[in-house]
Structure 1
């Protein structure tokens, strides 16, 4: 396994790191990791580095790159909004990978906004045959809400925090968990639109792996809840969804990182 700095796109504005396998296998997809928010191409807790190296050891060619204006990539010329520019940047990353390794299938992967940009790009580009979406858009499920409220009610530490705020006269202060839930400026598409888009992708033959963490437990905290929410849509057995209730949003724990790495390898091997 070795790594190589690459520059590509218009005027070589975009920059990334290629993680190359010890022995190229030409029938395997090319994997591209997108930025998680404003974190550059190493990923939160260096997650993208670890995942790219683990995949490369199993003979996948992997790119982790920075979108325009992030990390080591230069800003884009004015003219496109964030979403359109992100799609354009990702398509240029696909161009580079296929020019380098041949017209092999493309798998896009990302956390949070990286998942959003992967999904949007796949809708525009038929070269994308797989999506790894980590904490993609989530939609309120009544069962999840009830389950989450019940779990909170049984948490003695939460009651201690509430008592502390009352005694200190700060009863109006928000709970840390409540701040976590509301501190998210991603605006999801309507449920019907997202479901129809996923159905369109799967019917095109795109395989999807969607993993939710504890950060959205108030919206979804069991895999069957996703299928309840989207029961009106047919994903043709091309969509795998799971809830990792023991994992935080950025996979901070080393055990969670190893678990994710193995999960990705198992999914890619199918």
Structure 2
């Protein structure tokens, strides 16, 4: 289990499952001769993307950032289409840390697409139940509205089985939500309600940009995925927050990257410190 130590906080990456997505979709309009120099692909033109939530403890409270792809939530066709080679092992990983699903206090959702939200619920008998029944699930007001009433494009990623069982646990915000060292900030872009997360721990800071910066190879502000509903908003937010992170010597942390858990860039865009996946 990979970890990053700040001042008083340790971030643990949990195994949320592995996908292999079409490279053209993940890098959008960027030509393959360019993105393939930055990120490996297989013979099917797929790039490996993890779906690994971050787990953090702070003053006796347990926090998750996003929830993985879950177990037994995808059909065989979906597993094939998304190149799923491994499903979530979140509960087993949490137990290694002495934590059970009932102990999770907060789940901070950057957005509610299936590869981030499937791990919130599981099928028990004939109905879906919350895996983390005591947690407050935080997401933006816009994202929660999108989740419950998806449009013709987004209904393929906002699934009813991922929200009905947790609807009474959800708390929404409009622009910002703050709790201790955590701050969620609404950005839009990848989805209409997408948010990023800042973690400020005394002298050290982490910037978790969710799917507007899904991998280190998306460092170029113009490189956004074909899944982004509002790519211009993604670009504007990347311009703002990547520069902010560089200026504040922040760790950029990742949910999807298959090479780095976290890294720091300098003003020239060079990696000056990193935590690679073991």
Q: Which TM class, normalised by the smaller chain length?
A: 0.3 to 0.5
Give the TM-score normalised by the residue count of structure 2: 0.31
Determine which structure has the larger helix proportion and give its number. Answer: 1
Instruction: Give the number of the structure whose residues are more often strand, by fraction.
Output: 2
Q: What TM-score do you get using the length of structure 1 for normalisation?
A: 0.32
